[in-house]
Amino acid sequence: MYHGGELGLPLEISIDITPKIHSPSEAIYECIEFLESHRVDTECIQTFRLLISEAIANALEHGVLRLPSSRKEDMNYALKKEIADCRTAFTPGQVKLKIQLLCHSDSGLIETISVEVSDSGQGFDWQKYLANIAMPAPEKIYGRGLALIKMTASHLSFNEAGNTIKFAFPCKLKA
């Protein structure tokens, strides 16, 4: 769903990821098309793709599946299949995306990409987690998502429950 900006331009897209309408990758692709239609720079789109992929993976794996990170240490076929099945069989409304392009008040040019990802899970103690967040050892196969978002974003916050993440990062437009 697009919402128009001051000049009638669509500056926001909201998507409920549902198994019959959108897979997570289709939702990401739709958001990228939205960014490209507003001439967002390729480097910014690559950053967006990385960060939104991590946020959606966290929403599905930890929010919807309630999968503890420690269980990922034993990433075997059964767990990979459980995660893959979740990505195609969750119920509508369990993961929602909202992407906004924020404009500079004087120039009117897009300068920030704002992202919000919500899930239907119970949330987590994000304050405790963020206080101790660090990049995991290179051999670890999990735990990079929030660390990457925290390192890259100019703004990062959660709702009180910890089941909605909001982050923003600067963007440039194509010349």
Q: Where along the chain do its domains lie? A: 2-170
Are the CB atoms for 24 and 60 separated by under 8 Å?
Answer: yes
Strand ranges in 127-174 using DSSP code E only, listed in sequence order: 155-158, 164-170
Per-residue model confidence (pLDDT) at position 19: 56
Mean pLDDT across the stretch 20-43?
A: 83
Model confidence over 115-173: pLDDT tens digits?
999 988 889 999 998 898 888 888 777 788 899 999 999 999 999 999 999 999 998 88
Homologous superfamily (CATH) for 2-170: Histidine kinase-like ATPase, C-terminal domain (3.30.565.10)
Cα radius of gyration (the chain): 16
Across the beta sheet with 110-119, the strand order is: 2-4, 10-17, 95-103, 110-119, 164-170, 155-158
pLDDT-wise least confident of 56-60, 61-65, 171-175: 61-65
Residue 148, CA distances (Å) to 87, 114, 129, 152, 157 in order: 22, 16, 14, 6, 14
